[in-house]
Amino acid sequence: MHWEEMPKMSTILDIRNATVTFQDGTTTTTALDDATFSADSDTLTAIVGESGSGKSTLLSVGAGLITPDSGTVEVNGTNSIIFQQSNLLSSLKVRDQLLIMDHMAGRKLRKDRADELLEFVGLKGMGNRRIGQLSGGQAQRVNIARALMDEPNLLLADEPTSALDSHLSQEIIRLLRDITQEMHTATVLVTHDRSLLTFADHVVEVKDGRVSKRDAIGA
């Protein structure tokens, strides 16, 4: 496959001093507190934190799903999101799960690209299979391939391994690293599994809505 070259280490996502609050009756909860975060091309950044720490809120701000009360968000290019659940349509075959992205965007259906992406994620020759014939790990690979149909500069993954065992989790993270390096994406991974942090270039910890950056780890 041929991927468009991008300058090394260009900043794709830049969040500065973002604060997000949620109102529940008379109670105000601060989900993000003056958070600053960036993600560069060719780089896999992991976001970790306890449940309710604000890590998924930070990802949602980067994806444009949540607008912060204050602060700025800049994205250089397009983004795609890989959610916890595969959200695959049981009525569609594997290839069609990818082609629906073209249909939704009003584009000509790119069957060759869909098959190339399926091969890239390790599902060569499986385009005509039904979703019910796939394992959990294979279904998540389809989900990742579908996210790549739009050729994103920024790839956001929210707990993509939460439903997988340790071995499959490592396979999926290795795949995300391959995507990051070969497609030059800025990849941001939210995870609760600290054993996966060795695959990240950078690790960001979120605690009580505040962001702290740890040293680069590397695979």
What are the residue ranges spanned by the domains of the chain? 1-78+152-219, 90-150
Task: Give the strand pairing for 11-24 and 27-40.
Answer: antiparallel
At a CB cut-off of 8 Å and minimum separation 6, what does 146 contact? Answer: 88, 97, 98, 100, 101
CATH of domain 1-78+152-219: 3.40.50.300
Provide the token pair at 122.
């390790």
Q: Tell me the pLDDT of the chain (219 aa) as tens digits.
A: 444 554 567 999 999 999 999 988 889 999 999 999 999 999 999 999 988 899 999 999 999 999 999 999 999 999 999 977 677 888 899 999 999 999 998 999 999 999 999 999 999 999 999 988 999 899 999 999 999 999 999 999 999 998 888 899 999 999 999 999 999 999 999 998 889 999 999 999 999 999 987 655 544
Provide the token pair at 49.
């934190």
What letter does residue 104 receive in the DSSP assignment? H
